[in-house]
């Protein structure tokens, strides 16, 4: 994770202490210098000195007077959130979306683009750079306020090197995204797997805030989980932790993109739902889905299933309820393995939550062990359609605000 700060060096210590102060200010919203000294255990003169430096960078500002405990009312400090921006990018299997947000995660503008058909690595990177350039242009053309870029990339990602190791849907290997974008924009860049980036976003801005052990469970084209243990993202030995989509739910199930049979992803991800509806219709079941696609059942998609289910179409209802059961089995496995207190569900399929959640919850109740099942809440993400991009920009915020993350380079960016 970035350059390690040498604790022995004075400069390094100063950065660590500055980050600690920044984080305390962020967490409290409004705080006095005296309270900062108490919480960080730094001496009051050190706090005054470092707060002065932070005020010079405009990251921290003095604001309304706080409550007095008898004497003079103390001057309060807060993060100058709206003076700076971070960029978050979701590089998905088909398109890329970039957002710019203030330091409190408030998205102010966004740009989206599709890749060209079967893009080369160069074309992929060019599309990435193009949307980032456009979103920066809209947020702050002179770039003074932009502190960094975070990328949530689908597929397998080495987040230490910022390299996409394998992107299955585009069939790319070893793309040095961080190096390319840092060179192009001269800004710090963080790269993480898309779902894991969202998990970090959930831990800062979503329902996972202040929850030590939770799992983000995302169902889209792919199916995966971002695992937060003791407030930290768990990546595993080779960055593959959370690949719940390739755990096997039915040994006789359909073939999966990974080559195996009956993986969770092959039963609930991407086109699996439409394929089950098509099969039911081919077996002779009546469904309004057929009318919706004028007989061309290859065109059935997830949204149609939801609309048909709303009109009490039994084929659509069965497909969605079965999806809830399969998801329930996958989630029960996660609950039994990791004993989280919260599971956050996300992704397009939960647009049909009305028809999925009942069978999902019942399956979890039946299949998970009683003790961990009682300890867990299952909710649907509230971060909305920008969830992954927000997660990606949180990667940058984490670097700025956590005591092990801040690099001097970032302060140099601000001071320039």
- Contacting positions for Zn ion (CB under 5 A): 246, 256, 258, 260, 263
Residues in a beta bridge with 214: 228, 342
38: Cβ–Cβ under 8 A, 6 or more apart, which residues?
Answer: none
d(CA 101, CA 111): 12
Instruction: Compute the least distance from the CB of residue 243 to Zn ion, in Å.
Output: 8
What is the SS3 assignment for 177?
helix
Element (H, E) at 107: strand 107-114
Residue 273 CA to residue 265 CA, distance in Å, equals: 11
Cα separation, 288 vs 316, in Å, equals 9
Q: Read out DSSP for 178-209?
A: HHHHHHHH-S-EEEEEHHHHHHHHHHHHSTTT
Give bridge partners of residue 286 from the DSSP assignment.
none
Least distance in Å: CB of 95 to Zn ion? 23
Q: Are 257 and 155 in contact (CB under 8 A)?
A: no
Q: Between residues 259 and 284, which has the closer beta carbon with respect to Zn ion?
A: 259
Q: How far is the CB of 193 from Zn ion (least distance, A)?
A: 16
Phi, psi angle pair for 166, to nearest 5°: -155, 125
Burial of 398 (0-12, 13-18, 19+ CB in 10 A): buried
Beta-carbon-side half-sphere exposure of residue 382 (alpha carbons within 13 Å): 9
List the beta bridge partners of residue 233.
Answer: 228
Place of tokens 């007077």: 65
Q: Which is nearer to Zn ion, 248 or 375 (CB)?
A: 248
End-to-end CA distance of the chain: 24
CA-wise closest residue to 202 among 59, 34, 51, 340: 340
Distance from C-alpha of 224 to C-alpha of 213, rounded to nearest angstrom: 17
Compute the least distance from the CB of residue 267 to Zn ion, in Å.
10
CA pair distance 255, 260, nearest whole angstrom: 6
Nearer to Zn ion, 89 or 263 (CB): 263
Give the integer Cα–Cα distance in Å for 54 and 106: 22
Listed residue (23, 130, 29) closest to 87, CA to CA: 130
Nearer to Zn ion by Cβ, of 74 and 168: the residue is: 168
Where does residue 260 rank: exposed (0-12), middle (13-18), buried (19+ CB within 10 A)? Answer: middle
Distance CA 226, CA 344 (A): 10
Closest distance of CB 397 from Zn ion, Å? 33
Count of residues in the chain = 416
* Cβ proximity to Zn ion, 35 vs 243, nearer residue: 243
């Amino acid at each position: 994770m970035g350059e390690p700060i040498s604790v022995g060096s004075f400069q390094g210590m100063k950065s660590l202490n500055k980050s600690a102060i920044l984080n305390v200010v962020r967490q409290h919203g409004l705080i006095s210098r005296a309270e900062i000294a108490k919480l960080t255990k730094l001496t009051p003169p050190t706090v005054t000195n470092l707060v002065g430096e932070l005020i010079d960078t405009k990251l921290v500002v003095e604001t309304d007077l706080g409550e007095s405990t008898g004497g003079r009312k103390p001057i309060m400090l807060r993060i100058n959130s709206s003076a700076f921006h971070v960029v978050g990018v979701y590089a998905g299997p088909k398109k890329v979306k970039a957002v710019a947000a203030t330091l409190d995660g408030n998205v102010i503008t966004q740009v989206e683009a599709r890749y060209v058909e079967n893009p080369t690595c160069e074309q992929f990177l060019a599309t990435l750079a193009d949307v980032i350039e456009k979103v920066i242009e809209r947020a702050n053309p002179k770039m003074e306020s932009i502190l960094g870029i975070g990328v949530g990339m689908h597929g397998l990602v080495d987040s230490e090197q910022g390299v996409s190791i394998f992107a299955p849907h585009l069939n790319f290997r070893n793309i040095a995204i961080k190096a390319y974008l840092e060179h192009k924009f001269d800004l710090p860049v963080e790269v993480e797997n898309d779902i894991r980036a969202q998990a970090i976003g959930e831990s800062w801005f979503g329902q996972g805030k202040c929850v030590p052990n939770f799992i983000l469970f995302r169902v889209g084209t792919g199916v995966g989980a971002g695992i937060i243990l003791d407030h930290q993202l768990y990546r595993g030995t080779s960055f593959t932790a959370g690949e719940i989509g390739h755990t096997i739910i039915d040994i006789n199930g359909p073939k999966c993109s990974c080559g195996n049979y009956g993986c969770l992803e092959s039963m609930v991800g991407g086109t699996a739902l439409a394929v089950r509806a098509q099969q039911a219709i081919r077996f002779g079941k009546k469904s309004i889905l057929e009318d919706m696609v004028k007989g061309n059942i290859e065109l059935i998609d997830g949204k149609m299933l939801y609309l048909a289910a709303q009109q009490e179409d039994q084929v659509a209802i069965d497909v969605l309820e079965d999806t809830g059961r399969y998801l329930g089995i996958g989630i029960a496995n996660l609950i039994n393995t990791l004993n989280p207190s919260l599971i956050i569900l996300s992704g397009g399929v939960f647009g049909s939550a009305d028809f999925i959640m009942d069978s999902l919850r019942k399956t979890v109740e039946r299949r998970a062990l009683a003790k961990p099942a009682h300890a867990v809440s299952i909710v649907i993400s509230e971060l909305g359609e920008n969830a992954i991009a927000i997660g990606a920009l949180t990667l940058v915020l984490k670097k700025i605000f956590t005591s092990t993350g801040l690099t001097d380079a970032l302060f140099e960016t601000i001071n320039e």
